[in-house]
Chain A
Amino acid sequence: MANTAISILFDGVAYAMFLFIVSVGLSVTMGLMGFVNLAHGAFAMAGGYLVVTATQTWGVPFPLALVIAAVAIGAISIVFERTLYAGLYGASELDQVLMTIGLTFMMIAAITYFYGPLPEHVRLPDYLTGEINLGFRSFPTYRVFIILIGAALLAVLWYGFERTSLGANIRAAVDNARMAQSIGIDVARLFRISFALGSGLAALGGGLAIQLFGLTPSFAILYLVFFLLVVAAGGSGTLWGTLIAALVLGICDTAGKYLYADAGGFFIYAVAVAILLIKPAGLYGRG
Chain B
Amino acid sequence: MAADSLTPAAAALPQARARAAQFLAARHRLRPIEALPWLIALAAFFIFPERMMLGSQALIMILFALSLDLILGFAGIVTLGHAAFFGIGAYTAGLLITRLQWTEPITGLLCAAACAALGGVLTGWVLLRYRGLALLVLTLSTTIMLQEIGNLVPDFTGGYDGIPGVTVAPLFGTFEYDLYGHTYYLYALAVLFLLFFLVRRIVYSPFGQALAGIRENVARMHALGSPVHWRLVTTYAIAAAIAGVAGALFAQTNGFVTLGVFDFERSAGVMVMLILGGTGWLYGAFIGAVLYMVRENRLSAVSPEFWQFGLGAVLVIVVLLVRRPRWDWAKLWQRVAGGR
Give chain A's interface residues, CB within 8 Å of chain B.
30, 34, 36, 84, 87-88, 91, 93-95, 97-99, 101-110, 112-113, 221, 225, 228-229, 231-232, 236, 262-266, 269-270, 272-273, 276-277, 280-282
The contact of B323 among A36, A93, A95, A270, by CB within 8 Å, is A95
| Residues from chain A with Cβ under 8 Å of B316 in the complex | 84, 99, 102-103, 106
Q: What are 15 of the A-B contact pairs (CB < 8 Å)?
A: A34-B132, A88-B320, A91-B324, A93-B136, A95-B323, A97-B136, A106-B312, A109-B309, A112-B304, A112-B305, A112-B308, A272-B137, A277-B126, A277-B138, A281-B134
Of A101, A113, A221, A225, the most chain B CB neighbours within 10 A belong to A101
**B312 and A103: CB pair below 8 A?**
yes
Kindly provide the distance from the CB of A261 to the nearest chain B CB, expressed in whole angstroms: 11
Binds A, one of B15-23, B26-34, B139-147, B244-252: B139-147
Bound complex: CA of A221 vs CA of B80, how far in Å? Answer: 12
Find the B residue at minimum CB distance from A262: B152
In addition to A102-B313, A102-B314, 4 A-B residue pairs with Cβ atoms within 8 Å of each other are A93-B136, A232-B134, A232-B136, A273-B138
| Residues from chain B with Cβ under 8 Å of A231 in the complex | 133
The interface size of chain B toward A, counting residues with CB under 8 Å, comes to 46
Kindly provide the distance from the CB of B158 to the nearest chain A CB, expressed in whole angstroms: 15
B281 interface hit (Cβ, 8 Å): no
The contact of B151 among A229, A264, A269, A273, by CB within 8 Å, is A264
Bound complex: CA of A112 vs CA of B130, how far in Å? Answer: 36
Bound complex: CA of A128 vs CA of B314, how far in Å? Answer: 43
| Residues from chain B with Cβ under 8 Å of A232 in the complex | 133-134, 136-137
Find the A residue at minimum CB distance from B313: A106
| Residues from chain A with Cβ under 8 Å of B305 in the complex | 109-110, 112-113
Q: Could you tell me which residues of chain B, from 119 to 140, have a CB within 8 Å of some CB in chain A? A: 126, 129-130, 132-134, 136-138, 140
**B264 and A84: CB pair below 8 A?**
no
B268 interface hit (Cβ, 8 Å): yes
| Residues from chain B with Cβ under 8 Å of A282 in the complex | 134
**B78 and A93: CB pair below 8 A?**
yes
B340 interface hit (Cβ, 8 Å): no
Kindly provide the distance from the CB of A268 to the nearest chain B CB, expressed in whole angstroms: 9
**A276 and B72: CB pair below 8 A?**
no
Q: Could you tell me which residues of chain B, from 303 to 333, have a CB within 8 Å of some CB in chain A? A: 303-309, 311-316, 318-320, 323-324, 326
**A263 and B152: CB pair below 8 A?**
yes
| Residues from chain B with Cβ under 8 Å of A99 in the complex | 315-316, 319-320
**A266 and B140: CB pair below 8 A?**
no
Of B129, B144, B272, B312, the most chain A CB neighbours within 10 A belong to B312
| Residues from chain B with Cβ under 8 Å of A228 in the complex | 133, 136-137, 140
**B148 and A266: CB pair below 8 A?**
yes
Listed from nearest, the 4 A-B pairs whose CB atoms lie closest are A102-B315, A105-B312, A106-B312, A109-B309
B271 interface hit (Cβ, 8 Å): yes
CB-CB under 8 A for A88 and B319, given A102-B312, A277-B126? yes
B149 interface hit (Cβ, 8 Å): yes
**B130 and A105: CB pair below 8 A?**
no
B116 interface hit (Cβ, 8 Å): no
B63 interface hit (Cβ, 8 Å): no
| Residues from chain A with Cβ under 8 Å of B78 in the complex | 93-94, 97
| Residues from chain B with Cβ under 8 Å of A106 in the complex | 308-309, 312-313, 316
Kindly provide the distance from the CB of A241 to the nearest chain B CB, expressed in whole angstroms: 13
Of B264, B305, B323, the most chain A CB neighbours within 10 A belong to B305
Bound complex: CA of A257 vs CA of B267, how far in Å? Answer: 27
CB-CB under 8 A for A264 and B132, given A94-B78, A105-B309? no
**A36 and B133: CB pair below 8 A?**
yes
Kindly provide the distance from the CB of B125 to the nearest chain A CB, expressed in whole angstroms: 12
| Residues from chain A with Cβ under 8 Å of B275 in the complex | 98
**B313 and A225: CB pair below 8 A?**
no
Of A36, A105, A270, the most chain B CB neighbours within 10 A belong to A105
CB-CB under 8 A for A265 and B271, given A99-B319, A99-B320, A273-B138? no
CB-CB under 8 A for A266 and B145, given A93-B132, A106-B309? yes
